[in-house]
Structure 1
Amino acid sequence: MSSMDPVKLCAQVHLAVSALDPAHNTTTIVNLYRALIMELNKLQASSVHVAPLLSYTHLKMADVLQKHTSNSNLVLEHCNYCIELAMKVQNEPGQDPCLADNCLLASWKSHVVHVQKGNVLTAVEILTNSVSVAQCNPRWFFRLVLRIVSLSCPLAEVASKYKLDSCMDVLVTAEKYADKIRTQYMFLLMRLHRILLLMKQGSTERAESLSDESDALVNQFADTAKNEFHGQHIKVHHLMLNMLAKLSVGKIKSTRGTLKQLQDAIKILTQSNLDGIRSKNPAEQFQWMRSEHMCILAYLITVIHHSCGGSLEKAKKYAEKALMQIEILNSANELNVPQQGSSVESVVHHDQMLLKLHVMIMESVVQCDLVMGQKQLAIKKIAQVVSIGSKIERFFERFGPQIHMLMGLYSMTMNIMDNAEAQFQSVLTTSVNKDLVIFAALNLSVIFLRAGTRPNEAEKILSTVDPKNFPSPSEILKAAAYFLRSLHAFYTNQYMECRTFIRETVKISNNEDISRLTTCSFALLGHVHLMTTSNGKDCCETVCPALKMAEKVPDAHVKLWAAALLGDAVKLPGSSNITLKQNPEVVHETVKQQLLSDFLTSSKLPQHEIIQWVHGPLPEKLKALAKSSSLPTNPQ
């Protein structure tokens, strides 16, 4: 190429490239761009117009290489050249705005390559560095910020050393920027994402404080927003965060009012057909998630609320509604067909979001099934979770500990204690979720206590979750820790101390209607009475309510325990005046036969073999098993 005016030179080359089919002329196009870049580098010192042209050419070269070659390193090299050109001159006056646009496109392209290569932290750093360049383009600015958030949260889940502080700083900057350009919708969207990140960090009190501080702003915006969808979207988003923040610390009773508000608000949002209505402001063409997905998330929150409170039938009813909604979305092929308003950018990838919601619903239902004594349903659903997870990016890296937790609980109900112990140990060594680690430790202590010969090991692990200096704000887990302390005292014949810990458990569980723990506490207290007195009256008066509550939950194993205690208690002096609605021996035999039948069926299922997976990646033979578990969305 001969030296000439850089603008004309670029025009000629790009015109020549446009006439070529890149799929069949990749080498020719790359050579043309390479020659043009060399020529522009020579002209850069003599012309102010060269920098934007050079950055654009690097960008086009990266585009061709990304689409038509496998040389990702060369793609990154040209993206970096483009970014560096903009960064060098971004604060100089009179710069061509195209330079910033090219930089943002190159940053986006570069971060996509790094994510594909598994270098998520590098991708986040690239986007974070580009936020300052995007100040002149509100749409790009918020696009980068939301992408940083969507990458940072999963990164924090799998990398304990990764902190969300830098992401939090970006959101604070975004709030100020939204306020500066006067977009209340984006200001509140950024604020709500900051609350979500505080919850992720375990800063529940700060999250609740910021949420309470935002109440008036959210309600005012919901009532006055010119874009009705934006108003309802922000309101639902805020109510969901309120619910999740309270549920994460075990506040069941105090969330009832908020749950009713959420259910009313989601009904308005989904029935008004507002999803996808675009704002005329390009900076506001973002949403947290689609209305259909928000509806499913509302169902999930309701499931968690009822399951934590011990209303398992209600939890399963709402889970069925959520799974039915998922099936409708799948049947309508909404994951693949562009929707009206699909140009509105979403914070998350839709099909991945739907799969994750599906997994979280199934996770809650599995725990309900196990408590209700329906082990065969539970193991089928665990296999289905693994099958769904195989379709989700980095699923086993992020959700592996949760699956091991479920398999540990299943193994424990099947009385396969060696496997249950191995599963819980796997959670302890791999999870970065503090509450999940506590839950695994508590269940591991149950295994040690039930063994009868390992009280010291139980004491050692319980010392790591001492309720008097509890490492989590969760009231449910704290109450469970007190109950496990009472169980440890019972197994070591320290009955006075056992009663003390039972009182602490009941105090917390009654405050927030955590009925399952209340039920277990009453049954254990009845067992203490049975062991320490020859009078059956105290035992009957304690165990009868436990049996009644166990039937209401329903908790099959506590029902079996309570019926056995009651059967022994009525044979003791002092129980003759106790009136029983059911014969405890009949109840015990009925529940025992149901559990035995379920046990035998579960142990013969092919899905039962999946509990062999304890450490590392899922073995190939178990992948095939999970894949063959082609169950309906709601297997019964």
Structure 2
Amino acid sequence: MALSADAWYIGLLGLAESFRTSSPPDIRGCVRCLQAVFSFRPPTRVEARTHLQLGNILLNHTTNTDLAVNHLELSWMLSQTIPNGFDDVKFEAASVLAEVYEQQSQSTLSKPTLRKAIELSQHNVYWHCRLIFQLAQIHATEKDYEIASSLLGVGVDYAHISNAHYTRVLFLLSRGMLLLIDKKIQEVLPLLNQAGHLVDSWSGSLHQKEYLKVYFLVLQVCHYLMAGQVKSVKPCLKQLQQSIQTIMSPTWPSDEAVCGSCVGDMFLWMPKEHLYVLVYLVTVMHSMQAGYMDKAHKYTDKALTQIDKLKIVDNKPILSVFQLMLLEHMIMCRLVTGNKSAALQEISAGAALCRANPKLLARHRPQLHTLLGLYAMSMNCMEAAEAQFNAAISSSQERELWTFANLNLAIVYIRGKREAELNALLEHINPENLPSNSHSLRAAAYYVQGLQAFFQARYNEAKRYLRETLKMANAEDLNRLTSCSLVLLGHIFLSLNNSRESMNMVTPAMQLASKIPDVHVQLWASAILKDLYRLCGEQARETETFQMHCNFSQMLLKDHFQSTQMPEHELIQWTGGELPEPPAALIGTTLHSQQEASYSGT
């Protein structure tokens, strides 16, 4: 007896699945079976589902993206004609299709697809929330923060009326994250307070509460760090570190278990392994701003090791973002501690990451130029430093980075005695009218004004600016700014022949610089101490500090020479366009080896 068409396509679907799940999978056989299903003119439901299966398989196992998109488009179109139900096929097709459009930089196609799907999914809590998150992400990537924030606000209200309480807090925290990125500081505070209250009073799953707490604390820590409040952030950072240890403990359930059984609550901000790396990253950011270079180095190494392990399993794009941000902070750490050759290797490693990912380069180009400017300035290549800082300024829309680059550019002009260019820049770095709200950058702006007054021999004015820097730096434990300000005050008092006051400034500067450790401040302080001991007639101490000064100087000179011989040094000439290809010697090198300026200019 002849088989019916139903039996044929059902048999083909079963055969396709057996090919897909065989070891190793027979993808070619699977695709052929699924394509053959259409020959039997199956019902619309089966046809739509089969197109979705083919689209996913082609995306995951082949490079034929165009054919995959064709199948996904057919699935999305057909599933909309089915009157009731069929949500999983319909909305998965829309979601995956929009994702592929985004990868192809076709947001004019992805956004209407998601809007239509959101409109159709209001009866389905899971898919409605998921699609809102996805559309908000696209707008955020395009820096349409107001639209993205508005969508997340809709998500907050929808989750609330749908009794998806956990997802409501996720929407709320995601909105807070966007406001932070958009520097809407006044708007973010009440929202964070509301989210914090909801987390504290959470009466549901303890696992969900701890997960939401980590998300909330990450935002709080970032809020303080963006404001340059290094001391104020410590209690939040400590809580965050304790919470992540709880989540990473062996007794903690899987991410799926954290979401629970409520269909509207099946979302995570990011997997716990990624959260673990993120906590390392914000700890490194704090250590850099506070001036704890050894601690920043230690946590960076741990985070990079973790990223390497995660990339072997699943190389998600967010891991490269974390890796690049860690390298950026490590580079600044190296420059402070006088290890320019290692900084240069890490700049090259960061450039390699950007070269492999054009979107990463687009977002981090200003940071790369800034790092190359700091490196060039440490190498006394002032023309290159100026070009790099100008490239960073022209390509950056971030107020903090823009201000940071301008402050360092001002130091280049001060050291070069280029008063006309400096005067044109002064309005951008006036501490009383700074574009950035950052406490640390405002303190740094006072330091730069003090440095300018010192170079112009306006000593009383310089002292006034530097005392303001010290007051602000001490209030928030900005150790590097404190040491730089103390040593410059010591230099000023030495110039005024006030040996006692000079000693009172330089001695704590030297102690603090050795803890950081900041080799440049130690070099500067040892030169002043040598002169002070000579004036006091303390020959033994003069000899000791002279030897110390020589040791720092020789170490820096040796590293300076080594850096000039490295092929990566040529990167300081890159000021625009595509990143130059790496020198042949770098191919195969491992990648293992922002807001703290090289303020002293020494």
TM-score normalised over the length of structure 1? 0.81
Tell me the amino acid that sits aligned with residue 141 of structure 1. Answer: H
% same residue: 30
For 1:598, give the aligned amino acid. Answer: D
| SS of aligned partner of 1:628 | coil
**Aligned residue runs from structure 1 range 184-203, under 5 A:** 184-203=165-184
Determine helix, strand or coil for the equivalent of 2:313. coil
What displacement does 1:480 show?
1.0
Give yes or no for the alignment of 1:450 onto 2:430. no
Match of 1:464 in 2: 428
Alignment partners' CA distance in 1, 2:397 and 2:264: 35
Task: Select between 543-552 and 245-254 the one with higher mean Cα deviation.
Answer: 543-552
Aligned residue identity for 1:612? Q
1:97 aligns with 2:85: yes
For 2:282 and 2:539, locate their aligned partners in 1 and report how far apart those are by CA, in whole Å.
41
Q: Distance in 2 between matches of 1:149 and 1:398?
A: 18
Q: Distance in 1 between matches of 2:539 and 2:170?
A: 60
Aligned CA-pair RMSD: 3.6
Partner residue, 1:245: 223
Q: CA contact under 8 A between 2:510 and 2:525: conserved in structure 1?
A: yes
TM-superposed deviation, 1:367: 0.6
Q: Out of 517, 532, 544, which is 2:507 matched to?
A: 544
User: Hey, what's the Cα distance between the residues in 2 that align with 1:440 and 1:589?
Assistant: 31
Instruction: Return the match for 1:475 from 423, 439, 444.
Output: 439
For 1:428, what is the secondary structure of its paired residue? Answer: helix
* Counterpart Cα distance in 1 of 2:175 and 2:437: 19
Q: Does 1:433 align with 2:398?
A: yes
Please tell me the residue identity of whatever aligns with 1:619. P
Amino acid at match of 1:432: Q
Greater alpha carbon shift after TM alignment, 210-219 vs 238-247? 210-219
- Cα deviations by residue, 1:12-71 (Å, 9 ceiling, x for unpaired): 99779869989699999989979979xxxxxxxxxxx98x89977987897799798958
Alignment CA distance shift 1:374-1:15 (3 Å): same
Distance 1:621 1:327 in 2: 21
Which whole-Å deviations, capped at 9, do the CAs of 1:346-392 have from their partners, x for residues lacking one? xxxx6222222222112111111100101111111222222334454
**2: CA distance, partners of 1:54 / 1:291:** 38
- Is 1:274 matched up with 2:253? yes
Q: Which amino acid aligns with 2:516?
A: V
Cα displacement string for residues 164-191 of structure 1 (whole angstroms, at most 9, x for unaligned residues): 1111111111111111121221111111
Match of 1:614 among 567, 575, 597: 575
2-side partners of 1:466 and 1:514: how far apart?
20
Query: How many Å separate the matches in 2 of 1:578 and 1:164?
Result: 64
Quote the Cα distance in structure 2 between the aligned partners of 1:586 and 1:325: 42
Structure 2 residue 287 is the aligned partner of structure 1 residue 323? no
Q: Counterparts of 1:160-559 in structure 2 under 5 Å?
A: 163-221=144-202, 224-226=203-205, 228-271=206-249, 272-278=251-257, 279-330=260-311, 333-335=312-314, 351-392=316-357, 394-452=359-417, 454-531=418-495, 533-559=496-522
Query: 1:301 offset after TM fit, Å?
Result: 1.2
Distance 1:148-1:25 versus aligned 2 partners, 3 A rule:
closer
Task: Report the CA distance shift for 1:352/1:65 in structure 2 as closer, same or farther (over 3 A).
Answer: closer
For the residue of structure 2 that corresponds to 1:473, the secondary structure is coil
SS of aligned partner of 1:620:
coil
Residue type at the aligned position of 2:198:
L
Q: Is the 8 A contact 1:467 1:482 kept in 2?
A: yes
| Alignment partner of 2:101 out of 107, 114, 139 | 114
- Whichever residue aligns with residue 429 of structure 1, its letter is S
Query: Counterparts of 2:241 and 2:334 in 1: how far apart (Å)?
Result: 25
CA separation of 1:173 and 1:619: change in aligned 2, threshold 3 A = same
CA distance in 1, matches of 2:369, 2:356: 18
Is contact 2:126-2:265 (8 Å) kept?
yes
Question: Which letter maps to 1:232?
Answer: E
Paired residues in the alignment total: 576
Unaligned runs of 5+ in 1: 1-8, 38-48, 157-162, 336-349
Query: In 1, distance between residues paired with 2:324 and 2:523?
Result: 30
What is the alpha-carbon distance in structure 1 between the residues aligned to residue 68 and residue 272 of structure 2? 40
- CA contact under 8 A between 2:304 and 2:592: conserved in structure 1? no
**Residues 105 and 326 (structure 1), Cα distance of their counterparts in 2 relative to 1, 3 Å cut:** closer
Tell me which of 558, 574, 588 is aligned to 1:628.
588
Give the whole-Å Cα distance in 2 for the aligned partners of 1:590 and 1:475: 35
- Hey, what's the Cα distance between the residues in 1 that align with 2:543 and 2:473? 27
Cα deviation for residue 462 of structure 1 reads: 2.7
Q: Secondary structure at the match of 1:500?
A: helix
C-alpha contact 2:231 2:476 (8 A) present in aligned 1: yes
Letter in 1 for 2:85: P
> Cα gap change, 1:58/1:356 in structure 2, threshold over 3 Å: closer, same or farther?
closer
**Residues 69, 474 of structure 1: alpha-carbon distance in 2 compared, 3 angstrom cutoff:** closer
- Residue in 2 aligned with 1:565? 528
CA contact (8 A) 1:297 1:357 kept: yes
Distance 1:56 1:263, change over 3 A: closer
1:450 partner amino acid: R
1:79 maps onto 2:108 in alignment: no
How far the C-alpha of 1:537 sits from its partner, in A, is 2.0
Deviation at 1:449, TM superposition (A): 1.1
> What is the deviation of 1:247?
0.8
Instruction: Please list, as runs of the form range in 1=range in 2, the aligned pairs for 1:24-39 lying within 5 A after superposition.
Output: none
- Secondary structure of 2:142's match? helix
- Residues 383 and 629, structure 1, Cα contact 8 Å, conserved in 2: no
Label 1:180 to 1:606 Cα distance change in 2 as closer, same or farther (>3 A).
Answer: same
Distance 1:489 1:273, change over 3 A: same
Q: Measured at CA, do residues 320 and 25 of structure 1 come closer, stay the same or move farther in structure 2, by a change above 3 Å?
A: closer
Amino acid at match of 1:589: C
Q: Report the Cα distance in structure 1 between the residues aligned to 2:54 and 2:581, rounded to whole angstroms.
A: 40
Specify the code of the residue in structure 2 equivalent to 1:457: E
Q: Distance in 1 between matches of 2:114 and 2:542?
A: 67
Supply the distance in 1 between the matched residues of 2:586 and 2:264 (Cα, whole angstroms).
43
CA contact (8 A) 1:296 1:326 kept: yes
CA distance in 2, matches of 1:26, 1:233: 40
Letter in 1 for 2:113: I
Q: Is the 8 A contact 2:137 2:148 kept in 1?
A: no
Deviations 1:486-539 (A, max 9, x none): 1122223332322222122112111111111111111222222233x2332222
Query: Please, which runs of 5 or more residues in structure 2 have no aligned partner?
Result: 17-26, 594-602
TM value normalised by structure 2: 0.85
Name the residue aligned to 1:146.
Answer: 133
Q: 1:211 to 1:63 in 2, by over 3 A?
A: closer
Assess if the C-alpha contact under 8 Å between 2:5 and 2:40 holds in 1. Answer: no
Letter of the 1:628 partner, please give it. G
Paired residues for 1:52-63 under 5 Å: none
CA offsets per residue over residues 184-235 of structure 1, 9 Å max, x none? Answer: 21111111111100101101232233212222211232xx433x43222111
